Structure 1
Amino acid sequence: MTQWFKEPFGRSFQQPHQDYETLLETCLRNNCLFEDPNFPADMNSIGRGSLLQKLPPTLHWKRPIELHDNPVFYSTKAERLGLCQGVVGNCWFLAALEALTFHGDILNRVVPLNQSFTKRYAGIFLFRFWHFGEWIPVVIDDRLPVNEAGHLVFVSSTCKNLFWAALLEKAYAKLSGSYEDLQIGHVSEAFVDFTGGVTATIQLSKAPLDLWDILTRVASKRSLIGCQTHSGERILNNGLVDGHAYTVTGIRKVTCHNRPEYLVRLRNPWGKVEWKGDWSDRSKKWDLLNPKEKILLLRKDEDGEFWMSFHDFKFHFVSLVICQLTPDLMSQEVGKKWMCSLSTGRWVKGSTAGGRLRHHAETFWMNPQFQLTVLSADESKKSSTPCSVLVSLMQKSKSLHRNQMKHLPIGIFLFRQLWKGNQRLPQEFFQRTMPLFIPRDFQTEREVSYEFSLEPDTYLIVPCTSEPWQESEFILRVFSRKHALYPFSHFFPQEIVDKYEGGEEFFTKLFEKCPEINAIQLQKILNNMTWKYLSNPQPTFSMDACLGILALLDFNATGTVGIQEFRYLWKRLLIYQEVFHKQDKHKSGFLESGQLRAAAQEAGILLSDEVCNLMAIRYGNSNRKIGFENFVYFMLRAENVEGAFQNVTQDNKGIYLLKSEVIMLTSYFFPLCNLALIGIF
């Protein structure tokens, strides 16, 4: 009898993640097939709602090995466009998925293609999605919903023994909360979740005059293209479906009556129901082409794929969605490298949720602030030529179910930062400074994006909600040829210090008997603190760490710190505790290299991957993981290095030091400062 392996309950991708390799090896060792308790084969995974009415009277869960004599996970020999939508209303997901099949390398990242039903098969499969700023592994078992006849209820393939798409849909349903949560969506969301790229939506009623040229450029690049028909829920006489997403699978310029004709090829995710107008499969327009071109382009299979004229496309479709891994969607530049910066933030009621500028001028300054320095991509000379910059703002809901996510109206304001510095700009700045960009409207979307042409200079980005006190986390991404993005800290106001019971009274009582604190006293204070947000065991600060902290704060070289120095340390400790807790997603009490970079960035320090790897070696344990004690020590040193750099640099890009100054700085801040001097940090 077949055994079944069940993982302990209470784990999901949001919590300590399911380790695919560990689960696979356990199943193989025990000769059993995996059952996923986090997404069980029952109605909890189907969900509640309108989907229930579409299900067959009897629903079974079967593995591919039970449905076919020779199940195949993925085959390069299979027809690329062989997917058919099931009863879930997720045409937007299928349209994006079919666009993904044009790019094998991207597909392989989302769908590891080395999985199979024969070699090392244990009923467990792995997929990856870009989810709010990071690639998330999603583990599932391969039990799929089928009807009484054994046919898949949801996504299937025209090749009946091919199952990669059905399993991918299940993994995406798990990420979204349930199959029901896939019922409504936008193709742009799936594009981003598959690639981590950036999307541009063009309303075809307001399309630019050079839209065909734009399509020609993006079709020749690494682009995923989808489109949407006008709202509704019916099949039109012309064969199009209202309120439906399609995939753009190709474009072609042909010659007809000695005149150019522009054609667009599309595919219906249903795998059937096609356009019946000009240039459809049975249109007489094809007889006007030369025979070679007709043979090359025309396919008369009822597979959901068809051609139509560009003119008809613009008339019958409402929007066009283009997704690329680089933001040069509208640019004619070829072979240029783009860089991306990602920063996280949140709008908090009473603290950082200030609302829009026009209607809430008295609170707007409270919003998160990000300094953007746009640099000339031509390093050989200083240039004032405007640079293409794309800014994307994505809001993040706390709901575990995609369809329960309440999206707020969001947007960004852009200012030229006339005052150079690395501190938050006060209310007075916004009272006297006109923004360079004001959003025309605040869109209730998961992600909004804006394209700018900016001269090399320093700017200020202020992401906000339309109304104050609306709470949400967000991700800000900036794409350009060359730039630097610096988040101004929101942690310095007194209310953050007051998070620790006692507030200012705590400092007064602490220094009442002794005006200065030495390393022994500092160690006693830190090790007797209650770190509310940190995982057990509580961190233990060694005497060496406390001596190092004192050395960084004691600029008078007395071996002690006073109340003002300790107040600064206390604020930093509260910040470090918050960001450490947020990035320690497995609640292990340690950060890995990537988590270290994210935590440092949220605290206001930008690090390169090289520095993070080196710091994991320098400050981490034997597994290169950094505990809270060493994280505090590292962050204090990093901030001191940045402060020293800012004090010496003239142009915020580099410094010139005498030999004696180099010796002093590298001795005092080693090993960070020497890295900064050689351009790694």
Structure 2
Amino acid sequence: MSLWSSFRGKWKLGRKNVVGSSAQLPKEDYEVLLENCLRNHCLFEDNSFPATLSSIGRGPLLQKLPSRLYWKRPPELHRNPQFFSENTKRLDLCQGVVGDCWFLAALQALTLHQDILRRVVPLDQSFTENYAGIFRFWFWHFGNWVPVVIDDRLPVNEAGQLVFVSSTCKNLFWGALLEKAYAKLCGSYEDLQTGQVSEALVDFTGGVTMTINLAETPENLWTVLTLAFYSRTLIGCQTVSGTVKVLENGLVDGHAYTLTGIRKVTCRNGPEYLVQLRNPWGKVEWKGDWSDSSSKWELLCPKEKILLLRKDEDGQFWMTLQDFKMHFAHLFICKLTPGLLRQEPGQRWMCTMREGRWVKGSTAGGKLKSPLDTFWKNPQFLLSVWKPELARRSLHPCSVLISLLQKPRHRHRTRKPYLAIGFYLFRVAKHYGEQRRLPPKFFWKNVPLSRPERFHTGKEVSQELWLDPGTYLIVPCTSEANQELEFILRVFSRKHIFYEIGSDPHVVMSKEIVEQHEEQDEFFTKLFAKYPEINAVQLQKILNNMTWSKLGHAQPVFSLEACQGILALLDLNATGTVSIQEFRDLWKQLMLCQDVFHKQDSHQSGYLNWDQMRAAVKEAGLGLTDDVCKLMLIRYGGPNLQIDFVQFVHLMLRAENMEEAFQNLTQDGKGIYLQKPEWLMMTLYS
């Protein structure tokens, strides 16, 4: 485990548990209930979400129900009911009378990632083996994965047809049961009537959603879609809010869709950029260019036309990116890890989550308006950001993703609408006292680095920021003062500490990091007094007098040649020395190398073989191919193709140096152009 991984583990133990609104759910032990039903030869009946109209709702949805409503179990509706089938088409669900297209669109996106689907929908459930009429699903609910237990009684009409979600394969029931579980989580079926795709995506994954307003479409939208679609993301979209009516072009106003594919095709007149969408209704499709009946398909070669065009009335269709931007209002991309929309192979992220609340008359300060407002009363969170060891000399700032989630104000999701929320970010002094809340005068004198362009009334507000290493203040707030609400604040980055000021003075993570930094500061202060600039000879002396605690008896011996090579990699201004700050950065990377080497050298032999080195490179976050790893082992290892710690350090520094040079010099991520002097400098003195 690396140094920072160790801190992360201790942080999880030290912070208080985040408990969301799931505490309002009934505590039901699935295993105990199942065992009792099997032992008593009875079918489970869920009294907390009964087979009555109370579970459906009490408003307009009741008017859409059939005159006679029955509750039936799947074995009563089909002679061969199946919970889930691996052999069925992945897009097989159709919306019922409840207006939860946003839920269905998110669910359709979920089916494109079977491993994520299995996290929400345990596929070991069936209507045969150990069947007792009880089913369980999992949702990410404000910081925790919570189980929701239901019985399998589903509302149907007189003909035995499901009133709500159904499958195109009439004997499959996982979608209908999942919708019932989600309705129980939200309060009732009627509480699913309106929503945004992004809300359900978060509940299915615990990821962070990015909302793109297509009226302000970024120029690189196709690049964003390409990276997102071929990465671990779930993508949905919605048309302009309206009355849910079918337009002349075949699209549905005020409706949610799933983005299921993208394709760049070559026509006679040049390339076309196409997106594939699916209507959760399972029918009603786009009628414009590249629709199923469009003549545009004749512009393609026969093979490509056969691969892409499917003339089924299944709700799935193609359209151009330009038409997509014109007719849709919002695009929602749910990122399962923050770096997915950038090509960062092998990089790991850490997440810290804190809960808080705005209390009327106390911490509900509202947005920043004027020097005399109450904004300073809002909860204050301190964030310290560092560059990761392997990117310490990158020219880019640190990528930080901040997510603010508001909890529902009522057990029933739609009884009280979401409030408008947002957050501000300020830079604070390096040596700021960590447990003191910032006073009003700080906000009078300092302009926020980031502020809400508009306050958002959805479940989540998120923003990706590029921050220089340092200390920052995050202030979440509602748009108006004295509005009470609970919230979850999450921070994702490569390296950070994050906690609320004042309310939690004994944060384990903070204490340990501060103490360690004080010890390191003392070490570097003494070193700097002795060596203002460090040359290769001095570097050799320092490294050979260090105690490498995790390497045991195999203490490394750094030769002068090795130290000259290390110095050349760090010496950016070609002076033959490194500054104390550059050595501080080297120190961090040496600690990482020691952790990684120790983890892979399981027999403490002092050497890594081919498999161990390949695993070590991956553990360190370097995206090197096997062929490059092999070449590096031949170059830096011994004749028996083993590598010791000193050689491993040189390899890691060299690989990281060249990778960062490429990233800093490339314009398009594909190649670089170097003049002869630059090429010689990069290859001969590095």
Q: 1:61 to 1:358 in 2, by over 3 A?
A: same
Distance across 1 between alignment mates of 2:106 and 2:372: 41
Say whether the 8 Å CA contact 1:228–1:243 is kept in structure 2. yes
Shift of 1:360: 6.4
2:481 is equivalent to residue 481 of structure 1: no
2:174 is equivalent to residue 164 of structure 1: yes
Distance across 1 between alignment mates of 2:458 and 2:284: 30
Q: Secondary structure at the match of 2:338?
A: coil
2:320 is equivalent to residue 309 of structure 1: yes
2:256 is equivalent to residue 245 of structure 1: yes
2:110 is equivalent to residue 208 of structure 1: no
Q: 1:231 to 1:340 in 2, by over 3 A?
A: same
Q: 1:54 to 1:12 in 2, by over 3 A?
A: same
Say whether the 8 Å CA contact 1:74–1:113 is kept in structure 2. yes
Q: Deviations over 1:73-111 (max 9, x none)?
A: 000101111111000001111000000001111100100
- Residue equivalent to 1:325: 336
2:308 is equivalent to residue 297 of structure 1: yes
- Residue equivalent to 2:616: none
Shift of 1:378: 3.2
Distance across 1 between alignment mates of 2:525 and 2:156: 64
Correspondence for 1:86 among 74, 93, 96:
96
- Residue equivalent to 2:569: none
Distance across 2 between alignment mates of 1:37 and 1:356: 43
Shift of 1:19: 0.6
Say whether the 8 Å CA contact 1:12–1:38 is kept in structure 2. no
- Residue equivalent to 1:440: 453
2:474 is equivalent to residue 461 of structure 1: yes
2:87 is equivalent to residue 69 of structure 1: no
Q: 1:168 to 1:87 in 2, by over 3 A?
A: same
Q: Secondary structure at the match of 1:97?
A: helix
Shift of 1:153: 0.3
2:355 is equivalent to residue 344 of structure 1: yes
Q: Deviations over 1:483-540 (max 9, x none)?
A: 22122123xxxxxxxxxxxxxxxxxxxxxxxxxxxxxxxxxxxxxxxxxxxxxxxxxx
Say whether the 8 Å CA contact 1:374–1:484 is kept in structure 2. yes
Say whether the 8 Å CA contact 1:354–1:360 is kept in structure 2. no
Q: Secondary structure at the match of 1:35?
A: coil
Q: Secondary structure at the match of 1:32?
A: coil
Distance across 2 between alignment mates of 1:321 and 1:457: 31
Aligned-residue CA RMSD in angstroms? 2.6
Distance across 2 between alignment mates of 1:196 and 1:225: 14
- Residue equivalent to 2:281: 270
Q: Report the AA paired with residue 248 of structure 1.
A: L
Taking structure 2 as the reference length, the TM-score comes to 0.71
Correspondence for 1:421 among 429, 433, 456:
433
Shift of 1:214: 0.6
Q: Secondary structure at the match of 2:347?
A: coil
Taking structure 1 as the reference length, the TM-score comes to 0.71
Distance across 1 between alignment mates of 2:525 and 2:91: 53
Distance across 1 between alignment mates of 2:217 and 2:297: 27
2:239 is equivalent to residue 229 of structure 1: yes
Q: Report the AA paired with residue 45 of structure 2.
A: E
Distance across 2 between alignment mates of 1:41 and 1:16: 16
Correspondence for 1:40 among 33, 47, 50:
50
Distance across 1 between alignment mates of 2:523 and 2:365: 30
Say whether the 8 Å CA contact 1:12–1:18 is kept in structure 2. no
- Residue equivalent to 2:550: none
Q: Secondary structure at the match of 2:339?
A: coil
2:402 is equivalent to residue 391 of structure 1: yes
- Residue equivalent to 1:193: 203
Q: Deviations over 1:426-477 (max 9, x none)?
A: 2232222222122222222221111211111111111111222211111001
Q: 1:271 to 1:603 in 2, by over 3 A?
A: farther
Distance across 2 between alignment mates of 1:198 and 1:118: 37
Distance across 2 between alignment mates of 1:163 and 1:286: 36
- Residue equivalent to 1:431: 444
Say whether the 8 Å CA contact 1:13–1:138 is kept in structure 2. no
- Residue equivalent to 2:611: none
Shift of 1:385: 3.0
- Per chain length, whose mean CA-contact separation is higher, i.e. which structure has more relative contact order (CA < 8 Å, sep 6+)? 2
Distance across 2 between alignment mates of 1:76 and 1:285: 34
Distance across 2 between alignment mates of 1:469 and 1:122: 49
Distance across 1 between alignment mates of 2:526 and 2:381: 24
Q: 1:309 to 1:384 in 2, by over 3 A?
A: closer
Q: Deviations over 1:607-646 (max 9, x none)?
A: 5xxxxxxxxxxxxxxxxxxxxxxxxxxxxxx97x788668
2:302 is equivalent to residue 287 of structure 1: no
Say whether the 8 Å CA contact 2:22–2:146 is kept in structure 1. no
How do 1:481-520 and structure 2 match up within 5 A? Answer: 481-490=494-503
- Residue equivalent to 2:27: 17
Say whether the 8 Å CA contact 1:200–1:449 is kept in structure 2. yes
Shift of 1:132: 1.2
Say whether the 8 Å CA contact 1:385–1:456 is kept in structure 2. no
Q: Report the AA paired with residue 605 of structure 1.
A: V
Say whether the 8 Å CA contact 1:489–1:604 is kept in structure 2. no
Q: 1:348 to 1:368 in 2, by over 3 A?
A: same
- Residue equivalent to 2:159: 149
Say whether the 8 Å CA contact 2:100–2:192 is kept in structure 1. yes
Shift of 1:14: 2.0
Where does the alignment leave 5 or more consecutive residues of structure 1 unmatched?
A: 1-10, 491-601, 608-637, 657-677
Q: 1:290 to 1:139 in 2, by over 3 A?
A: same
Where does the alignment leave 5 or more consecutive residues of structure 2 unmatched?
A: 1-20, 528-593, 596-686
Say whether the 8 Å CA contact 2:140–2:206 is kept in structure 1. yes
Q: Secondary structure at the match of 1:24?
A: helix
Shift of 1:279: 0.7
Say whether the 8 Å CA contact 1:368–1:463 is kept in structure 2. yes
Q: 1:382 to 1:211 in 2, by over 3 A?
A: closer
Say whether the 8 Å CA contact 1:62–1:145 is kept in structure 2. yes
Distance across 1 between alignment mates of 2:122 and 2:404: 29
Distance across 2 between alignment mates of 1:478 and 1:154: 37
- Residue equivalent to 2:565: none
Q: Deviations over 1:30-72 (max 9, x none)?
A: 1110000100000110001111111000000000011111100
2:138 is equivalent to residue 138 of structure 1: no
- Residue equivalent to 2:267: 256
Q: Deviations over 1:140-196 (max 9, x none)?
A: 000000000000000000100000000000000000000000001100000000000
Distance across 2 between alignment mates of 1:647 and 1:375: 16
Correspondence for 1:100 among 110, 114, 122:
110
Farther-moved stretch of structure 1 (284-293 vs 158-167): 284-293
Distance across 1 between alignment mates of 2:50 and 2:525: 56
- Residue equivalent to 1:406: 417
Distance across 2 between alignment mates of 1:416 and 1:644: 23
2:69 is equivalent to residue 59 of structure 1: yes
Q: Report the AA paired with residue 498 of structure 2.
A: L
Q: Deviations over 1:390-433 (max 9, x none)?
A: 11111112300010133222111111111423112222322222
The percentage of counterpart residues that share the same residue type is 64
Distance across 1 between alignment mates of 2:391 and 2:356: 35
Q: Report the AA paired with residue 435 of structure 1.
A: P
Q: Report the AA paired with residue 331 of structure 1.
A: R
Shift of 1:480: 1.7
Distance across 1 between alignment mates of 2:438 and 2:454: 24
Distance across 2 between alignment mates of 1:403 and 1:461: 29
Q: Report the AA paired with residue 259 of structure 1.
A: G
Q: 1:397 to 1:231 in 2, by over 3 A?
A: closer
